[in-house]
Structure 1
Amino acid sequence: MQLSKANLPKIMSSENVLMFSGIIAAFHLGKVSPAVPILQETLNLTVIEAGFLISLMQFAGALFGLIMGGFSEKIGAARSILIGQFILIISSISTIFVYHPLQLLMLRAMESFGFLMVVLPTPGLIRKLVPANKLSFRLGLWSCYMAIGTSSAFILGPYLIEMIGWHGWWYVPAVMSVFCMILLQRGLSHVLKRSNQKVYTFEDLWNTQFKSVLKHKNTWFVGLAFAMYTGPWITIIGFLPTIYHQVGISNIYAGFLTACASLVNIVGNILAAVLIHRGIQAKKLLMLGYLTLFVTVFVAFSPFYTLISIQYIAILLFSAVGGLIPAILFILGVKSAPNNETVAAAVGLVQQCSSLGMLFIPPFIARVAEGVGSWNLTWVVIGIAALIGLLLSTNVARQYQ
């Protein structure tokens, strides 16, 4: 029997169900990092292949973010999220047939479409479900989904991989997605019933959404600024277990340290949501976030600081204070839409730029590290990215105070 929205307990509100859905999608993204050492042993995975395996979750977003934004509007946001979770399930359980890195890379690319269909329409749907006076706070909370999902994968991964192997580990988020689909069917039943009330043709989408979004420079600036954050963040969090494994730290302990580094990102996410809600200028928070990225990545990866404890503290600050950035950029991404009808497409373009950063920056940094024989130049690449992100994002933030 379908539960009506009125009868759902508060914890099962539509906004919370959407948050849970995003966390599960991020768990799928994060499941690779703790498995890299065993994949290198069993599938002969190279460092560069590992970089692409981490970043390929952004394949669909990098190529089709804008188009998928319009597509999710066409089929309905709630229906798009359900289809996305289903794709994640199929991609995960299909690893039973994987015995070569190329096969795993292909499935990872397939997963990217599911991931995109889950996370892309969610901010726009939150905008429709949440009162205007709570929107900035809710969008700030939504930005926590990545840190919660990936850190959960980093914590559970090393233990479960030892118990059930990497194939079994891939099935864990698939089961979570099945449970998530049940919650979505119930929590968003009222949205699903009216999701097909407005029908778009692709010509309509181009004329009413894509053209106006592509001409809107603020959406481009937000997206590129996002790429300058997400690419470096996923690189450090994604490769941290491998880096620590290379210096002799056990997989379980390396997974725990990485999970903590990912989890503290939530501190910045929530703090940004609260501070923006209380009227603190977004520009000031963005300056603090990006400048912290620059300083901490220098401490963590330059050859001048060799103590692992100091480097790890820098990485914690990188993630925690850097967490201010995505919460604000999610808000700016929604606000940068030319009008209410173009929110999904605008978020799609932002996601496309962000995905390009996550797709290409990890393997690029991996290639630099492999070329010089160490990770010492990582700070140069990420430092430049942070300065670019700072210039772009503060330019937009000034216009939406």
Structure 2
Amino acid sequence: MTIAAYAAIPRNTHWGVVSVVVGSGIVTAMQVGKAAIATPLLQTDLSLDLAAAGWLTGIFAVLGLIGGIPAGTLVARAGDRRMLIFGLGVIALGTVIGAMAPGFPVLLASRALEGFGFLLVTVAGPAILHRVVQLGQRDLAFALWSCFMPAGMALAMLAGPLFSDWRTLWWGNAGLAAAAIVAGLAIVPAAPARVSVSWRSAASDALRVLTSREPVLLAVCFASYSLMFFALFSFLPVLLMEQMEIAHGTAGLLSSVATGANIIGNLAAGYLLARGTSRSALLSGAYLIMGLTGIGIFLQVFGGTPTLTLCILFSGVGGLIPATLISSASLVAPSAALAPVVIGLIMQGSNLGQVIGPVTIGGAIASYGWKAAAGIILISGLIATIAVLVVSFSDEPTPKSPSEEANR
């Protein structure tokens, strides 16, 4: 079955399916947030410093760092629903292993396994939405999808302090992953037929995208955003506990509020883009505001309440970035058929930032204190702003070439 035939399948939007897919994404994002809220407990139980705790978040994205494009091809060959269910199963398995881990090495390995499941879910989810959502309603569906990361992290930070220890939190997340598997099997329909993809053509597609300027720059932009976001939110509960001298549970609640503000930014991006707002202006403005607020947060020049306000602003404005970058994939793709490959590359950039951010910031804080993080945040914001200003966004996706269509 060719990509053109696959795209021509009539679709009716099934919002129940959309809800399950977005819910599955939220469950996967909770696996990121649980490490952040459990950091104080892990430090006590396993005698970890912040650098080691940063690895528990950073290792989560290592497979995604190199596997975004291959995962997209795997989803196309094996079926999006099947890979969604399999990814959730891998997350459940990794979480169970982590809950029983005798020490840091096994826990770290379990986090890498969870990260593999995360990669599959985050690649399969958009593929399912593309299949079941009508063209005129995709902006809304993908705006909802782009909220999965902040929503999942916020829920994890809100619920984390309710558990007596970090192992119980891990078991609870395994149960959520199992529930998502059941919902996916019951509600998400299988694709009518799978796309036939040649591994040789897949390699050619990947090379074409990797040698195109705009897709690579978008990946750099997402890497910078992800680095900035996870640099803060991987350690926000600890920062608030030190800055405001509050209890673990209150720090989790405040962190969830700050993280949840990112959802507003994601939804606002869809609205602003529909109103004709320049993508370059939207992205560059968001990066600069994140960089400046990051300085105020990590230099700790303000009191507790102003610092929390800056965290909320950092998160809310930052939410404009993911939805804008993901929706721009088809605008910078060498051809319309290569848009999924561009998305895979962008997600690899996201995972690069997710790896570098917590590890770099954790090490900097451990060696030089919280102020060391301010410079890293500002430099990341400036790099992304420069990259955005170089990108040329076309108004419409580039049409598919006849030779490319014939090869599919």
TM-score (norm 1): 0.90
Alignment partner, residue 4 of structure 1:
none
1:72 shift after superposition: 1.8
Counterpart of 2:374? 379
Letter in 1 for 2:382: L
Change (3 A) 1:195 1:170: farther
User: Which residues in structure 2 correspond to 1:154-165 (within 5 Å)?
Assistant: 154-160=157-163, 162=164, 165=165
What is the distance in 2 between the residues matched to 1:342 and 1:185?
29
Which residue number in structure 2 is paired with residue 142 of structure 1?
145
Tell me the percent identity. Answer: 26
Matching of residue 269 in structure 1 with residue 253 in structure 2: no
Deviation at 1:281, TM superposition (A): 2.0
Classify 1:227/1:338 alpha carbon distance in 2 versus 1 (closer, same or farther; 3 Å).
same
Instruction: In structure 2, list runs of 5 or more residues that go unmatched.
Output: 1-11, 397-408
**Distance apart, 1:355 and its partner CA:** 0.6
Q: Is the 8 A contact 1:124 1:334 kept in 2?
A: no
The 5 A counterparts of 1:243-258 are 243-247=239-243, 248-258=245-255
In structure 2, what is the Cα distance between the partners aligned to 1:205 and 1:9?
A: 29
Deviations 1:42-64 (Å, cap 9, x if unpaired)? 11122111001011111111122
2:178 aligns to what? 178
User: What is the CA deviation profile of residues 181-209 of structure 1, one whole-angstrom value per residue up to 9, with x for unaligned ones?
Assistant: 222223322xx24243x3334223213x2
Q: Which amino acid aligns with 2:232?
A: I
Partner of 1:129: 132
Q: Secondary structure at the match of 1:98?
A: coil
DSSP-derived class of the 2:235 partner? helix
- Can you list the C-alpha shifts for 1:317-364, whole angstroms capped at 9, x where unaligned? 000111111110111134433334333322111111111111012211
1:27-78 per-position Cα deviation (integer Å, ceiling 9, x unaligned): 1121111111111111112211100101111111112222222222221222
Aligned partner of 2:287 in structure 1 is 290
Q: 5 Å matches for 1:291-310?
A: 291-302=288-299, 305-310=301-306
1:102 pairs with 105, 108, 111, which one? Answer: 105
* 1:189-208 map, 5 Å: 189=189, 192-196=190-194, 198-207=195-204
Match of 1:281 in 2: 278
1:113 partner letter:
F
Aligned equivalent of 1:338 = 334
* 1:337–1:72 distance in 2 versus 1, CA, 3 Å: farther
- What letter corresponds to residue 387 of structure 1 in structure 2? L
Contact 2:13 2:133 in 1 (8 A): no
Residues 1:312 and 2:319 aligned together: no
Aligned length: 384
Q: How far apart are 1:132 and its partner, in Å?
A: 2.9
Corresponding residue of 1:3: none
Residue 93 (structure 1) shift: 1.2
RMSD of aligned alpha carbons: 2.0
Distance in 2, Cα, partners of 1:297 & 1:74: 42
Provide the C-alpha distance between the structure 1 equivalents of 2:324 and 2:140, rounded to a whole number of angstroms. Answer: 10
The aligned counterpart of 1:212 is: 208
Q: Tell me how far apart the structure 2 counterparts of residues 179 and 205 of structure 1 sit (CA, whole Å).
A: 34
Distance of aligned partners of 1:239 and 1:334 in 2 relative to their CA distance in 1, 3 Å threshold: farther
Displacement of 1:113:
0.5
Q: Where do 4+ consecutive residues of structure 1 move more than 4 Å?
A: 8-11
Q: Secondary structure at the match of 2:394?
A: helix
Q: Does 1:80 align with 2:83?
A: yes
What CA deviation, in whole Å up to 9, does each residue of 1:338-397 have, x standing for no partner?
33433332211111111111101221112222222x211212111111111122234336
Amino acid at match of 2:173: P
Measure how far apart 1:149 and its partner are.
Answer: 0.5
Measure, in 1, the Cα distance between the counterparts of 2:241 and 2:318. 25
| 1:363-374 to 2 correspondences below 5 Å | 363-372=359-368, 374=369
Structure 1 residue runs of 5 or longer lacking an equivalent are: 1-7
1:72/1:344 contact within 8 Å kept? no
Using structure 2 for the length normalisation, give the TM-score. Answer: 0.89
Structure 1 SS opposite 2:197? coil
Give the residue type in structure 1 aligned to 2:61. Q
Give the whole-Å Cα distance in 2 for the aligned partners of 1:128 and 1:389.
Answer: 32
Aligned with 1:53 (options 39, 52, 56)? 56
1:348 aligns with 2:344: yes
